[in-house]
Structure 1
Amino acid sequence: MTLTNPADGSVLGVVEETSPAEVFEHTTAARDTYRSGVWSGLPPRERAAALLRLATLMERDAQLLATLDSEDAGKPITECITGDVPSAIESIRWFAEALDKRYGRTSTTGRDVLAFTEREPYGVTAAILPWNYPLAMAAWKIGPALAVGNALILKPADASPRSAQHVSALATEAGIPDGILRVLPGTGPVTGAALAADLHVGALSFTGSTATGRNILTAAAQSNLKRVSLELGGKSPQILLDDALDFGDTLLDGMIEAAFLTAGQNCTAGSRILVHERIHDQVVASFTAAAEALQVGHPADPKTKIGPVINDIAADRILATITQATADGATIAAGGREIPVVAGGRYIAPTVLTDVRAGAAITRTEVFGPVVTVQRFRTHEEAITLANDVDYGLAASVWTRRLDDALVLARGIEAGLVSVGSYSEGDLTVPFGGWKQSGYGGAEKSLRAFDQWSREKTIWIQQHP
């Protein structure tokens, strides 16, 4: 596979795709390594110590890891340095330190019986990663999967494998036994499909598109019924009640981040702005001005806020979606065009669409680009109806200082995460996962993440006279 820099189309290198036969060889070897006990048999604190060493090595190589993700995915280097890499390091450390905070349970039964549960690793596990947050998503999987004792196989996105490959080398340097963390580059239809159907893989986590998630579920059902966790697409609303302007600059900064972080190529992107009619015009004016002020440029420039979209296919799709939206009656308040920044890269101006009717295709389709729609509402009920009028349910933001109103909206929105007074996915202490066609199967982050990568066993001990 040829790796191409989205910023300018230059070739970054060539990576061999892992064939289905090679996948089987790796999962077989991973099973044998797991069963040997060189990792799963260690006391939890020794596994934690190795993961903490890995985090320290990632910190040492933070600049390199940031550069790899910036080049592979076209992400602004500042975003990688200040956000993605530190959060990945924090994830590894958090799960390592949380490992010995888990407990089993005892059951209340007869006095002649001791019954208790404990959680054990699956053995061979796998994770199929997205291209938009290569290192951060890898860390969400590596931390809990390795902490509980599994062998883990990572299949990075075909566009962005290099940070995962480097972390694999760092794992060896940290003293994690060879073969416990394996990185298998390849495409989804070849390498990813082979992992989804593999009989050795006991649990698989996937972050990516809803269509691919369905294929993975089918493969799991037709093979060994492996446990599958899915974090899929989104079409997240940002809901502004009539007092939202009281947040001042915090509101505008949060809205811009929600809409345009990673050029809008983000599953939780706040791509639908729902604003109370009393403040609609003021919000549109300030938001479009802020969108137009964002610097679109080469990802290597520290001042760049919006980099390129990932490839030609994505760019053409995004532009076609904008064209269709205007044909359906939407007005382009900002952007709506491609910008010639660097030859060989595809750069799309931050786009704001107003006068968008309820039920229009643009309000239900995940654009996965720097495009947001603005709709107005009058009542809480209307806002909730608009928010829920999609197949997705990953995240939402509610902007109000009134607690009663915030609770009404938060409880009425069909999403796995609702942030109030912010655009946030929460920190590592809280679960993260979607509803509806945004996924299911457990929670990323928090102590609950350990449950994705371990299975419960009941032990019943009968006392005899």
Structure 2
Amino acid sequence: MPTTDTLVIRNPADGAELARIPVTAASEVAWHTADALEVHRSGVWSSAPPRARAAALLRLADLMQRDAETLARLDSEDAGKPITECRENDVPGAIESIRWFAEALDKQYGRVSTTSSDVLAFTEREPFGVVAAILPWNYPLAMACWKLGPALAVGNALILKPADATPRSTLHLAALAEEAGIPPGVLRVLPGTGAETGAALAADPIVEAISFTGSTTTGRKILTAAAATNLKRVSLELGGKSPQVLMADALAFGDHLIDGLIEAAFLTAGQNCTAGSRILVHESIHDEIVDRLSRAAAELTVGDPSDAATQIGPVIDAVAADRILGAIDTAVADGARIATGGVEVPVVQGGRYIAPTVLTELPANAEVLRTEIFGPVVTVQRFGTRDEAIALANAVDYGLAASVWTKDIDDALAVARGIRAGLVSVGTYSEGDMTVPFGGWRQSGFGGAEKSLQAFAQWSREKAIWVQSA
């Protein structure tokens, strides 16, 4: 029976209601997975020629381009993201990922093993069947497409569970997929809560692979559910506490350095898993960096996300705002100094806006140095030697991303190799383009790559075939 529960979708900018969307109950999840299995076994998509699947995905990308403004508006309204960020970054990146995986699909090959002359041994990859992805709220469309591209390209039937607060762009994406000619039932979107809909997907024995982007706490629950049921393949991209390491010569990068620090720290109001929230600075340039960074942060435009001039929008909701402000208060109580920010900003009634915040002079045991704040807050710490910089960079439980700012190749390689993280950029803040794998270490997750050719391996399994001559 259809559920009577609904998700009330609100605009973080002002708290206004945007939509009411039915929750997918656990019993409905079971029906959808069983139906998806029938669709997969029919071969309507899984047995289609790879180039036919690629052509359908390219049509989807074209339709997304046609509706780019609608998709940008939906993400901006649901997540409170600045509309300019959605228009210029998120939506173009989502479209690019669909095109990239579609075009890369027929570039995949199996392997032939070296055996005796009377044997042919080779490998091929096949789709799992029914797979699922549970999405975060901070990049609703982009994360949907990072997962959709390779999962559908290899022939799976995919179920997307959008975040509770941000389902509308993913629902629109599903409608575009049907318009593009992707057969009904191959892609389905199940809005709902993590506690009911997401948990049901994680425990469903028909789902053979699941990808999750979100908190470490929820990632552990998904692992537990998979272990207790069918041992489905699990891929987790979890939290982060990413360091930005500024060696003694970092000022040689000029304005590019400050621009990079600002982008890393405050993109999406700091609600970003790779946010460069820990700035580690050589003692010789510490004071100048704090001064320049603080002035640049104070000049950022905090405003209504629907305004094209806005650089920093609201945080997602009141719970997040109270958590972030509480973390700042705790840091100050621990001895931190607020170089700029640290306060709530009145912008639009009903929304929660926090000024970009820079904290300095923190004691080594300050909680804010270890805990992911997920807001527009960065800390600045001093170091004296290369080894000390590496030790500070690794002094957290996470290992998602990092940046190293130096023009010295010896320092660049030593620090990049010394940091325990899945992605390290040098001379910039970047997650790389679609050709670069993306995934975390330690409590930032595991299980594969969200981008690059490696993503195909995340959504398919290898089979070895041994042919013995008579």
Give the TM-score normalised by the residue count of structure 2. Answer: 0.98
Structure 1 counterpart SS, 2:34: helix
Is 1:19 the counterpart of 2:25 in the alignment? Answer: yes
Equivalent residue number for residue 4 of structure 1: 10
Distance, in Å, in 1 between the alignment partners of 2:415 and 2:365 is 20
Alpha-carbon distance, 1:359 to partner: 3.0
Distance, in Å, in 1 between the alignment partners of 2:363 and 2:44 is 59
Q: Which amino acid aligns with 1:30?
A: A
Equivalent residue number for residue 173 of structure 1: 179
Identify the match of residue 80 of structure 1 among 64, 82, 86.
86
Structure 2 counterpart SS, 1:57: helix
Equivalent residue number for residue 407 of structure 1: 413
Identify the match of residue 137 of structure 1 among 112, 128, 143.
143
Equivalent residue number for residue 284 of structure 1: 290
Structure 2 counterpart SS, 1:126: strand
Distance, in Å, in 2 between the alignment partners of 1:224 and 1:75 is 38
Distance, in Å, in 2 between the alignment partners of 1:167 and 1:433 is 24
Q: Which amino acid aligns with 1:291?
A: A
Distance, in Å, in 1 between the alignment partners of 2:20 and 2:261 is 38
Structure 1 counterpart SS, 2:116: coil
Equivalent residue number for residue 3 of structure 2: none
1:216-259 Cα shifts (integer Å, max 9, x gaps):
00000001000000000000001000110110111011000000
| Matching of residues 93-108 of structure 1 within 5 Å | 93-108=99-114
Alpha-carbon distance, 1:424 to partner: 0.2
Equivalent residue number for residue 318 of structure 2: 312
Equivalent residue number for residue 451 of structure 1: 457
Is 1:273 the counterpart of 2:279 in the alignment? Answer: yes
Equivalent residue number for residue 245 of structure 2: 239
Structure 2 counterpart SS, 1:317: helix
Is 1:237–1:274's contact at 8 Å kept on the other side of the alignment? yes
1:403-453 Cα shifts (integer Å, max 9, x gaps):
111000000001000000000000010100000000001111000000110
Equivalent residue number for residue 372 of structure 1: 378
Q: Which amino acid aligns with 1:201?
A: V
C-alpha root-mean-square deviation of aligned residues, in Å? 0.4
* Unmatched runs of 5 consecutive residues or more in structure 2: 1-6
Structure 2 counterpart SS, 1:318: helix
Q: Which amino acid aligns with 1:198?
A: D
| Matching of residues 318-333 of structure 1 within 5 Å | 318-333=324-339
1:307-360 Cα shifts (integer Å, max 9, x gaps):
000001000000000000001010001000101111100000000000012232
Distance, in Å, in 1 between the alignment partners of 2:379 and 2:363 is 10
Alpha-carbon distance, 1:139 to partner: 0.4
Equivalent residue number for residue 387 of structure 1: 393
Is 1:397–1:418's contact at 8 Å kept on the other side of the alignment? yes
Distance, in Å, in 2 between the alignment partners of 1:403 and 1:381 is 16
Is 1:350–1:370's contact at 8 Å kept on the other side of the alignment? yes
Percent identity over the alignment is 73
Distance, in Å, in 1 between the alignment partners of 2:101 and 2:435 is 10
Equivalent residue number for residue 4 of structure 2: none
Give the TM-score normalised by the residue count of structure 1. Answer: 0.99
Is 1:32 the counterpart of 2:35 in the alignment? Answer: no
Structure 2 counterpart SS, 1:15: strand
Distance, in Å, in 1 between the alignment partners of 2:259 and 2:329 is 27
Is 1:226 the counterpart of 2:223 in the alignment? Answer: no
Q: Which amino acid aligns with 1:68?
A: L
Equivalent residue number for residue 72 of structure 2: 66
Distance, in Å, in 2 between the alignment partners of 1:381 and 1:260 is 28
Equivalent residue number for residue 447 of structure 2: 441
Structure 2 counterpart SS, 1:273: strand
Identify the match of residue 398 of structure 1 among 396, 399, 404.
404
Equivalent residue number for residue 295 of structure 1: 301
Is 1:358–1:386's contact at 8 Å kept on the other side of the alignment? no
Is 1:120–1:148's contact at 8 Å kept on the other side of the alignment? yes
For these two proteins, the number of residue pairs brought into alignment is 464
* Unmatched runs of 5 consecutive residues or more in structure 1: none
Is 1:41 the counterpart of 2:47 in the alignment? Answer: yes
Structure 1 counterpart SS, 2:143: helix
Task: Give the ranges of 4+ consecutive aligned residues of structure 1 lying more than 4 Å apart after TM superposition.
Answer: none
Distance, in Å, in 1 between the alignment partners of 2:354 and 2:380 is 19
